[in-house]
Amino acid sequence: MILKVTANTEGGRRTLKRLADGMSIEKIDRVVGRVAAETFAHVVKATPKRWFGQVRRSWQIRLPAPGVRHVINENKIMLFLEEGTANQGQGWIYPRTKKFLYIPLNRKAAMGWHEGLKYGRDYILRKKVRGIKPRRIVARERILTAERLLVAMRRHIQRIVDGSIQSSN
């Protein structure tokens, strides 16, 4: 019995060349950008509109370098929505020690109390309030974004290997 093996390595070399070209920072940047845009849409949708919508409008996508995206929200209210306001051992959340807690109901009152404000319409006073339950929007989205990026990169590599994405010679 004679076994004859023939290998055509030229096709493999072309595939590896396409793969090297397709994995350049410029090509990966497009994939990362699409995943970042999806993540941005999901976190904006998951952020409540309440509190004048400024928290929802504070989401941004930053591009510190090619192939890198940061989806961030620097609004301090987002920290309370993410982590909650209950005493969870964080040293920076202290209860207020006042007779009544001032709660603004509109933008004008949120800027601070002054003589023109009407009780019940612009603000209310409460002896006790419930804390905000943690929503964990960012924590959930980190996991989903990692999964989305993995699927997108696999799809990108598959398209390179299949020849859908041509090398830029």
- Residue indicated by tokens 């309440």: 50
- Taking only Cα atoms into account, the Rg of the chain, rounded to an integer number of angstroms, comes to 26
Does the model's pTM come out above 0.95?
no
pLDDT in tens, the chain (169 residues): 677 766 678 888 888 888 889 899 999 999 999 999 999 999 999 998 876 689 999 999 999 999 999 999 999 888 888 888 765 444 445 555 567 888 889 988 888 888 999 999 999 998 877 777 888 999 999 999 999 999 999 999 999 988 776 555 4
Those residues with Cβ within 8 angstroms of residue 46's Cβ, 6 or more apart along the chain or in another chain: 135, 137, 140, 141
Q: What phi and psi, each to the nearest 5 degrees, are found at residue 166? A: -90, 150
Cα dist. 21→15, 36, 46, 105 in Å? Answer: 10, 22, 37, 56
Every domain of the chain and the residues it spans? 15-86+132-161, 95-130
